[in-house]
Amino acid sequence: MTGPAVPPRANPMPHDRQSDSGLKRVLGNLAHLLGGKAAAGLMSLVYLVIVARTLGARDYGELVLVNGYAIFIGSLVAFSGFHGVVRYGALAMEAGDPVRLARIVRFMALVEGVFGLLALAIAVIAIPFVGPRLGWSPEAMRIAIPYSLAVFGGVRATPQGLLQIAGRFDLVGLHQAVSPSIRLIGTLIVWATGGGLDAFLIVWLLSSIAEGGAMWLLGLVAWRKLASGQRLIGPWRGLMRDGQGFGRFILVTNFDITLRELAPNLAPLTIGWMLGPVAAGLFSLTQRATALLQQPAILLSQASYAVLADLVAKRKLVQLRSTVWRSAALAGTIASPIVLAFWLAGDRLLPLVGGKTFQGGVAIVTLVAGARLAALIASPITAGLTALGRPQRSMMVTLATNLALYPLLPVLIWWLGLHGAGLHALIQNVIATAMLILFFARDARDPATPRRTA
C-alpha cells in the first residue's frame, strides 16, 4: 500500500538561481550601505588629515585614547539587542504578529537605555584612575568626564535592527554619514579658529551623541512601517519566559558582541598604557588608514544578516550555505589587491596622511591590513551562524581568539614594540576565520544529508 501522493512543488527555483537570489539581496543591501559609507569615508579622510597634521602624533594619540576609553567602556558595559531584534523580529513578521515585534523592540530599547546609563557612570568613576596611566595631559583629563557621554553613541542597536527588518538599508547607509559630517564641519571650524586638543574632543563628543540620536530617529520610520497601529510605549514584559529561547539568545549574542569588540577596543589602550600616546596615535592612524578593509567587513555583516535570517526562517538551508560561501569568497577576492596596495605603499602611507611626526613602516601597515582581510572574509560566516541560531559558535571563537590570545598582546608589544600589536591582530583574525569556517561547514548541513561516519 502506498501513501497519498505528494504534490510536486510548483516551479521550484533551481539551486543556482536560488544562490544568485540570496547573493544579489546581500549585494543590494551592501550597495545601500556602501553608498553612505563612501561619502563618510571621503569626509573621514579629509578631517583625519587635518586633525593628525594639526595635533601631531602625541596630541592625536591623546584624542585617540580619550575617545577609545569611552568606546571601550560603552562596548564592555552597554547591551546590544541587534541580533535579537533582527532574528525574533523577522520571525514575528513572518508569522504576521506585529504585536510581538512591538514588544521585542520596547523591551530591547529599555534594556539598551539602562545599560547605557550604567556605562556612563562607570566611565566617569574610573577616569581619575585610568587617565594618568594612559599619559593624558591635564587638558585631556578635564574634558574626559563630560566626554564620557560619548558612550551613548553606541546605544543604537535596537533601531538599527528594526531598520534592517524593514529593509531600509538606504537609511542605514544614510546614517553612516552623520558622524563624519559633524566631525568634518567641526574640524574645519576648529582648524580655522586655531583650536587645539580640547576643541577637537568637543567635536568628537558631539558627533558621537548625534550618531546615536540619529539612529533612533531613523528607526521611527521602520517602526511606522512594521508596527503600524502599535504605540511606542506599551507592554514589554514576558519575552524572557515565552519558551522560544529569546532570553538565552540575546544574552549569548550580546556576550559574543562584547567579547568580539573587547580586544580591538582594548588594544589601543594597551598600547597607550605600555608605549604612551605617540605609539597609540601611530597604531590608530594605521587602523584608520586600513579602514578601507574594516568598514566593508562591518557593512557586509549588516547587509547579509537580515537576508540570512530570512532564509533560515523560510528553511532554505541550501540557499543559505551558498549565499554565505559566495559572499565570503567575493569579499576575499575584492580585498586581496587592496592589501597588496597597502604593502607597496607602507613606508609612505602614514607620513602622507598624518604628517612628518607619524613615522610608521611597511610592516605595521601590512600586518593590520592582513588582519582586516581575514575579518572581512569571516563577516558573512559569522552572520550565517547567528542566523542559524548558533551564536554560541561565534562566542566560542571570540573567547578563543580575543580573550585567550589577549595575554599575547603585551608580550608581543614588549618584544617587538608597535609591530607586535600588528602581528597580534593578524594572528587573532586568521585563527578566528579558520574556526568559523569549520563551525559553519558543520552547522549549516541540510538535516536530510547524512553525516559521514568513520
Q: Mind listing the pLDDT tens digit for each residue in 352-407?
A: 778 777 876 778 888 988 998 898 888 888 888 878 888 778 778 877 888 889 99
Cell numbers 569626509 correspond to 43
| Low-confidence residues of the chain: pLDDT under 70 | 1-39, 240-243, 292-306, 346, 360, 446-454
Q: What is the DSSP letter of 232?
A: S
Quick one: 201 exposed, middle or buried, by C-beta within 10 A (0-12, 13-18, 19+)?
Answer: buried
CA distances from 207 to 201, 211, 336 (A): 10, 6, 32
Cell, residue 367: 600586518
Note the pLDDT of residue 449. Answer: 43
Return the closest-CA partner of residue 378 out of 437, 319, 420, 302. Answer: 437
CA distances from 55 to 200, 342, 343, 439 (A): 9, 25, 27, 45
Dist. CA 398–CA 382, nearest whole Å: 11
Q: So where are the chain's domains? A: 17-443
CB 200 within 8 A of CB 187: yes
SS3 at position 128: helix
Cell, residue 334: 575584492
Note the pLDDT of residue 1. Answer: 40
CB 355 within 8 A of CB 410: no
The mean pLDDT value of the chain amounts to 82
Note the pLDDT of residue 247. Answer: 81
User: What is the model's pTM?
Assistant: 0.75
Dist. CA 54–CA 353, nearest whole Å: 12
Return the closest-CA partner of residue 252 out of 399, 123, 378. Answer: 399
CB 311 within 8 A of CB 364: no
CB 210 within 8 A of CB 218: no
CA distances from 188 to 28, 183, 356, 396 (A): 34, 8, 21, 44
Per-residue pLDDT of 176-233, as tens digits, reads 889 999 999 999 999 999 999 999 999 999 999 999 999 999 999 888 888 777 887 8
As a dihedral over the C-alpha atoms of residue 222, residue 19, residue 384, residue 249, rounded to 10 degrees, the angle is 50
Cell, residue 280: 597609540
CB 66 within 8 A of CB 136: yes
Which contiguous run of DSSP H or E holds residue 438? helix 418-443
Cell numbers 588594544 correspond to 267
Return the closest-CA partner of residue 123 out of 203, 202, 68. Answer: 68
Note the pLDDT of residue 71. Answer: 94
**Could you give the angle at the alpha carbon of 363 between the alpha carbons of 354 and 365, nearest 5°?**
45
CB 103 within 8 A of CB 236: yes
